[in-house]
Amino acid sequence: MKTVKIILAIVVIALVAIQFIPNRMPSNKPVSEQDIIHSGQVTGDMAKILKTSCYDCHSEQTEFPWYSKMAPTSWLLADDITNGRKNLNFSEWNSYTKRKKIGKLEAIREEVSSGEMPLPVYLLMHRRSKLSPEQVEALSQWTDDMTKKILE
Amino acid sequence: MKTIVSVMVILFFTGVLFIRGTRMSRDVDNTAEFIYPAAVKAIIDQKCYGCHSIKGESDDAKESLMWDSIPSFPDAKLVAKLDDIITVLEEGSMPPEDVVKQYPEIKLLPRERKVLKSWAEATADSLMK
């Protein structure tokens, strides 16, 4: 019984202590003119899908959940959001070259069709961000259409 | 008799001309196909082909890029793949460090990197006219 108490105390102390370790949580920025939705290139259902299933990591308009404010979950989120924005940032879409856009669209199609995106760990706490087979199909069709427009 | 032979000879040569004609126009079509310039091909063969071809051992490498399948890609996929290649060349992440340690001869020289990058950029640009 005593050992249990000691272990619990250590866990609590550790949890408190790690809160003081600084993390590099990316911050949000004002909605940019370069944003793919704000600039009117994507509207309706497709805009809704991007907002709901992609924007938390792939834009500068992240909706930070309560557990993003505490370690150790904040570390995981800081990492995922930083990498997400680095690889694809819908808030900077218009600043990408045509070539980069086509590259990103192809990657979106591959990642979403293979079920690698949205990240399964993200879906654990974001059930409504899970893409239905119809939404995956719609996204895939959307990437094709966008690419065709750019190639024209 | 002589006339018949002459007509046949003329017809024969005219026919030959037509055959040559079709062959030639086919040759013209072929030049529109995707071909690696010799300088680019030489670098790919020496520095990339060991992993990014049918003889590669890493499934990861083969899944990411197969130089031999690129020519058959539709335009959109081709541009996307060229963009990947350019990104990797800019990052300097290929060939991977650990592989270069094992096979120092595959290290990509700055001049070679530039040749590959210029080629990839020009090829992608030509598809987006």
Nearest CA in chain B to A110: B77
Tell me which residues of chain B, numbers 73 to 92, contact chain A at a CB-CB cutoff of 8 Å.
75-77, 79-84, 86-87
Question: Residue A102 and residue B87: Cβ atoms within 8 Å?
Answer: no
Token pair 């308009």: residue: A61
- List pLDDT tens digits, range B1-21: 666 666 666 555 555 555 444
Q: State residue B87's pLDDT score.
A: 92
ipTM of the prediction: 0.72
Nearest 5°: CA angle at B15, between B13 and B19?
115
Q: State residue B20's pLDDT score.
A: 45
Q: State residue B27's pLDDT score.
A: 38
Task: Please state, for a pLDDT cut of 70, what percent of chain B lies above it.
Answer: 74
- Whether A45 shows a pLDDT value over 70: the answer reads yes
- When comparing pLDDT for A20 and B114, which is higher? B114
Nearest CA in chain A to B121: A99
To the nearest whole angstrom, how far is the Cα of B43 from the nearest Cα of chain A?
Answer: 23
- List pLDDT tens digits, range B101-116: 999 999 999 999 999 9
Tell me which residues of chain A, numbers 88 to 127, contact chain B at a CB-CB cutoff of 8 Å.
98-100, 102-103, 105-107
C-alpha–C-alpha distance, residues A16 and A99, integer Å:
47
- List pLDDT tens digits, range A53-62: 999 999 999 9
- List pLDDT tens digits, range A77-92: 999 999 999 999 999 9
- Whether B126 shows a pLDDT value over 90: the answer reads no
Question: Residue B79 and residue A103: Cβ atoms within 8 Å?
Answer: yes
- List pLDDT tens digits, range A109-135: 999 999 999 999 999 999 999 999 999
Cis peptide before A133, with omega less than 30 degrees from 0? no
Question: Residue A148 and residue B76: Cβ atoms within 8 Å?
Answer: yes
To the nearest whole angstrom, how far is the Cα of A147 from the nearest Cα of chain B?
Answer: 7
Chain pair A-B, CB pairs under 8 angstroms? 36
pLDDT band, very low/low/confident/very high, at B55 (cuts 50, 70, 90): confident
Q: State residue B25's pLDDT score.
A: 39
C-alpha–C-alpha distance, residues A106 and B77, integer Å:
7
Q: State residue B58's pLDDT score.
A: 85
Token pair 């094992």: residue: B102
First to last CA, chain A: 73
pLDDT band, very low/low/confident/very high, at B33 (cuts 50, 70, 90): low
As a whole number, mean pLDDT of residues A35-39 equals 90
What sign does the dihedral A22-A24-A25-A26 (CA atoms) show?
positive
Question: Residue A99 and residue B76: Cβ atoms within 8 Å?
Answer: no
As a whole number, mean pLDDT of residues B40-48 equals 89
Q: A144 to chain B: which residues are within 8 Å by CB?
A: 76
Nearest CA in chain B to A146: B76
With contact defined as beta carbons under 8 Å apart, do A83 and A26 qualify?
no
Q: State residue B22's pLDDT score.
A: 42
Extract the tokens encoding A145. Answer: 């259409």
Out of B81, B121, B128, closest to residue A151 by CB? B128
